[in-house]
Amino acid sequence: MRGIKHRFHPTNTIENRPCYHQDNIVITLLLYFSDTSTHMIYVIAIGTFQAFTAVLLLWTNRLKSKADALLILLLLCIAAHLATKFYIYTVVSDAHIRFQMNTFIGFCYGPLLYLYALKNKDESFIPASRWYVFIPFILGAIGYLTVVCVLEFSLQAGYAALQIYNQTSTWSMLAAGTFFPLLALNVARKYLQQKPQERQLIEWISYCLLTISAVAHVFQGIHALNWVEDKDLIFCRDIVYSILLIVCFIIIRYKYVAVVPTATVHSIYSETVAGRDKQEQISAEKADLIDIREQSSPVRRTQLTTTEHREIMDKLEQHLQRTRIFTDADLNMDKLAGSVGISKYHLSEALNSYASKSFYQFINEMRIERAIQQMQFMSSKALPVNVLTLAFDCGFKAKSSFNQYFKKITGLTPTAYLRSVAEMRAETL
């Protein structure tokens, strides 16, 4: 920071510098952020540890899906990116390398998120079929390694190659960091309505990556106007690394929260549960009234045969098992019929005439069945079960309505059921 020290030499007073009033804002900002390097190293260290921790938690999570492998790769890329930067800022003394050497690993973030969205859209999707989305990453790696090799033989030629690499990779990374998150957002909002948890996770990560691109665009614009030097862009990097740290927390929050202690999850949701409890209680009462009305109404004349009813129910159950759309807390008859590709009138007729159940009764039974399966699985693995998180994961908006339907269907409260499962497990040991 020799340049900054020169500007703030005791002889550089307002009286001795007539143009000081034109530069005071920029100089004040540079002085304020002159110690950002130390803070950034702390952020990088914490982010590296957090990324590796998230990889470990997600890798050992017994409830992970096939698509989660792409999230693990994303976390590994973040960990490798931050670890590389930690080495550069703590070991490398060359200022050109410290402040200009972009890490090509950042090219992976957007494509991996996009592939994760596609995998959630279609479980049969093979990520390797879209290998071309990693072309920017491959080219960036070639450029990075080329610069490293040139620097080994000639510093002067290496600095020239470094400047070309830095300019090219920066704008390419900004373009990719905007394009692929937008693609992932489009897939999530258009095709993952039946998977609200995955949709929200993709949305939050996309917002973080887009924020990184926006911040980088702003600082690159300032740099293009020669308001700051390369070394003064360190504050931008500090923001970027902090956002990557947030991405790790978001992934843990959405993918591992189901097995954390109750107190932790309760603190996360405590601000929203009260309002949801009241709203869901009203919804539950309305659903009960609909159930009673439908069960007490006279038998209506059916338009479909028993065989057609059975075919509709088979198709419905296969679709529910494949997509788990019943975990959507805002699911209704219109949305379900549109997702399955069946007329809502035929679907309603099949539920009432063939299954002898109302829409709400059928969906809530599916949700409770999933809850029971998860309880049994996690109990068998000696994993702690959080009832509130389980309720949200199964499609309920509040713990109170989950408890109500669980007891209505099983005869036990969730806590009592977990206790009985634990006792049975203890007897068999």
265 pLDDT band, cuts 50/70/90, is very low
Spatial distance between the Cα atoms of 206 and 210, rounded to a whole number of angstroms: 6
Stronger pLDDT, 386 or 278, i.e. the higher one:
386
In three-state secondary structure terms, 139 is: helix
Identify the CA nearest to 59 among candidates 324, 252, 208. Answer: 252
Q: What confidence tens digit (pLDDT) does each residue in 392-413 have?
A: 888 888 888 899 889 888 888 9
From the number of C-beta atoms within 10 Å of its C-beta (0-12, 13-18, 19+), residue 210 rates as: middle
State the DSSP code for 381.
Answer: T
Question: How much is the pLDDT for 20?
Answer: 39
Spatial distance between the Cα atoms of 67 and 58, rounded to a whole number of angstroms: 12
Question: How much is the pLDDT for 203?
Answer: 93
State the DSSP code for 328.
Answer: -
Q: What confidence tens digit (pLDDT) does each residue in 334-380 have?
A: 888 888 888 888 888 889 888 888 888 899 899 999 999 888 888 88
State the DSSP code for 354.
Answer: I
Distance of CA 42 to the CA centre of its chain: 24
Q: What's the predicted TM-score (pTM) here? A: 0.56
Q: Are 250 and 208 in contact (CB under 8 A)?
A: yes
Helices (DSSP H) in 297-358: which residue ranges? Answer: 306-323, 333-340, 344-349
Question: How much is the pLDDT for 36?
Answer: 52
Retrieve residue 373's tokens.
Answer: 């399966």
Spatial distance between the Cα atoms of 239 and 216, rounded to a whole number of angstroms: 9
Q: What confidence tens digit (pLDDT) does each residue in 160-175 have?
A: 888 888 888 888 988 9
Spatial distance between the Cα atoms of 314 and 330, rounded to a whole number of angstroms: 23
Question: How much is the pLDDT for 356?
Answer: 87
Q: What confidence tens digit (pLDDT) does each residue in 241-253 have?
A: 899 999 999 988 8
Identify the CA nearest to 144 among candidates 180, 103, 183. Answer: 103
Spatial distance between the Cα atoms of 78 and 241, rounded to a whole number of angstroms: 9
Retrieve residue 325's tokens.
Answer: 């759309």
Q: What confidence tens digit (pLDDT) does each residue in 103-149 have?
A: 889 999 999 999 999 998 887 889 999 999 999 999 999 999 998 89
Question: How much is the pLDDT for 247?
Answer: 93
Question: How much is the pLDDT for 29?
Answer: 42
Domain borders along the chain are: 35-255, 263-428
Spatial distance between the Cα atoms of 109 and 73, rounded to a whole number of angstroms: 9
Spatial distance between the Cα atoms of 193 and 336, rounded to a whole number of angstroms: 11
Q: Which helix (H) or strand (E) holds 270?
A: helix 262-296
CATH class of 263-428: mainly alpha
Question: How much is the pLDDT for 25?
Answer: 41
Retrieve residue 154's tokens.
Answer: 């000639």
Retrieve residue 324's tokens.
Answer: 């788990």
Q: What confidence tens digit (pLDDT) does each residue in 57-73 have?
A: 888 876 677 888 999 99
Least confident window among 43-47, 145-149, 296-300, 342-346: 296-300
Domain 35-255 grouped into CATH 1.20.1530:
no
Retrieve residue 111's tokens.
Answer: 């494509």
The residues, ordered by sequence, that sit 6+ positions from 223 with a Cβ below 8 Å of its Cβ are: 229, 230, 233
The residues, ordered by sequence, that sit 6+ positions from 68 with a Cβ below 8 Å of its Cβ are: 58, 61, 255
429 pLDDT band, cuts 50/70/90, is low
Identify the CA nearest to 331 among candidates 422, 195, 231. Answer: 195
Q: What confidence tens digit (pLDDT) does each residue in 196-205 have?
A: 778 889 999 9
Half-sphere exposure of 15 (CA within 13 A, CB side): 2
From the number of C-beta atoms within 10 Å of its C-beta (0-12, 13-18, 19+), residue 291 rates as: middle
Question: How much is the pLDDT for 63?
Answer: 65
Question: How much is the pLDDT for 206?
Answer: 95
Stronger pLDDT, 187 or 95, i.e. the higher one:
187
State the DSSP code for 391.
Answer: H
